[in-house]
Structure 1
Amino acid sequence: MISTVSTLVGVAYILYLLFFFRYRHNKTSSLSSSPEEGLLHVSYHNLLKATAGFSSTNLLGVGSFGSVYRGLLDQNQSIVAIKILDLTLHESSKSFIAECGALRSIRHRNLVKVLTACSGFDFNGNDFKALVYEFMSNGSLDEWLHPSASQYTERSRLSLLERVNIAIDVACALDYLHHHCETPIVHCDLKPSNVLLDDEKTGHVGDFGLARFLPEATHKLLIDESSSIGVKGSFGYVAPEYGIGSVAATEGDVYSFGVLILEMFTGKRPIDDMFENGLDLHRFAKGALANQVERAIDPVLLQEIKQSEMKRIVTLDGKNKSWCSILECLVSILKIGVTSSSESPRERMDIGNVLSKLQGIKKNLLEFIVIA
């Protein structure tokens, strides 16, 4: 009896989402919620044309549940990012529903803005689902931290201040999701490739295909039976407790954020070849803090520090002033990353405290940069 009721509730929830997003058989649905913005309606034909037939030249990347293309919409001549769900994958449709559910009522400057959703059929009569996002001109954080040979020649590396700003942007997004939404949301798949940068290199968290509402009593059955697809995440970033069946929680996002912070400031992926025989990014950074922190810092940042230190000596002209050094700021950041990526959820900081600490570090860093 309970199973039957749960199933009916789950079906009802899916129907509610479909209705909310104005699903129309073989037509489109809009996620726009602001009347002054107007409703953007797109069809399979519109998206096919916008991407030049889903051309490989417009392919931005391939994710767990589909591919993302750069497109130019005829409707408003805007450049957008179009996520095409691979419906041959068993969980793609559930991912689509989960992402729609998570994005239907949230709006924050550090979240990727979703413009519309399209659900219908292609010209062969196959099911077709897509999400259309605001285009981020500077790509993903992953591309900046680990550029390919061609990308390395086309763009400069991220500076220390830029990395601190992006870390704050991501923390702001998580703080909003965890503490300031009507229903708290856990992202469940935070990693550099899901952090996108706009013209000003402001960070925006995207890809809510694995997002989970916190299981509050009022809607636990709805989420468990319909929009959840299990806590999976990406290897190296997923919290260890998820591997033993723990439910989604804000502490899981904090773990992923801690790994992301360490990656941003060490320049090493959590799946780097050097991590074996029990060594991982967390232990590597923690060990460096206890011994020689310089060996854990991204060489690009070390070079920047040396240049800044030289300017600082010249600028201060021998005057004795107590300022926070860049190296001390980096130590503080690595400590945040290490604490946040602790194996035990109880040892991790709340994202609100993380945000406050990062903002304080930025303040100290700016004081030093002004002197330099």
Structure 2
Amino acid sequence: MSSPRRIGHLLRRHRGTLIATGVGVLLGCALHARLTPLCPEGAACIFGPPGVQPYVEYAEIPSFWAVYDVQRILHEVRSAFQHIVVYETYFHGRILTIDGALMITERDERNYHEMLAHVPLNYLPAAQRVLVVGGGDGGTVTQVVRHAAVREVVWVEIDELVVRTARRFFPKVSAGADDQRVKLAVRNAAHWVAEQQFSADGGGLDVVLIDSTDFNQAEPLFSIHFYASLKRLMSERSILCLNADSPQWGQVRLVQFVDRLTPLFRHVHVYQSFQPTYSSGHYAFIFASDTVHPTQSAIDWTAWDELLIDTRYYTPDVHYGAFMLTAQVGGVLRQPAPRLADVRSFWSAPRPSTSSAVPARPSHSD
């Protein structure tokens, strides 16, 4: 059969498929033309169902946008403090945003909450009293109450609507809110901490976790005055950990955190996590203590193993690796980053044969 006849035969044979494909292309082009104005200039947008506007995350980085394919808006409310939205997405599950900034996604919230809670608590396995500032989604509290020794979790959150929204749309994330050890105070944390200075029950905090936005009502929570007030409520052997920024894109802010905390605490260190849905995908926390050094203080990993806490992200290896920062970040912070040699005994310890067991603890002491 000659080439022209063969082409004609193929066209007739697949006429239905070709027509359907052509119609699909035309409709796709028309839909794209309709939705394109919704996409920020310079951003690559992937759109969801027709008529559903994508979620474009608020970003401080010039010429950068994170655009999420959204199936629908599940919930939207304005509280006295902020604009709260819950989205349903194909890949990330449900997303919680506040004032346009992404707070959590169901897909990777455990990365963040496990690293904020388990890193400090594993240095203090006998910690009994924990303060959580912010964290209205309940994820940090949920991880804290998995530690059996903890007797009380004081949870101070300014916006009750965030707590209620999370309990309705993120029940697994906020499950810890139902634990009897959790005492929720719907208060401005700056005011609450100031009042505790004069309360007989205000002190004795073993671990303090700040899980907060850094804008609007939360700005006072990132001041040296607030940190100093918190320290007066902390026990002698205690740890403060807080969420910071990207080690790659937020280095100026990291330096600010370290500079504010260094006059107050003997040991101030940055540690990191892989957080795909936060700016740059690389996130950091601050660890501060007078008595606990993150790579020289011992951890009883046997005690951790006995807790039988199922984690998605956190492991003993990840714990120490989180403090191993890049040369660039160490230079910006003007302090040498810890090295593997600092925890040599941990890495060289014989590994148990069972997958559920955990390596022996380091022999370093304070």
Q: Same fold (TM over 0.5)?
A: no
Higher relative contact order (CA 8 A, sep 6+): 1
- Please identify which structure carries the higher strand content: 2
- Please identify which structure carries the higher helix content: 1
TM-score for both structures, normalised by structure 1? 0.29
TM-score for both structures, normalised by structure 2? 0.29
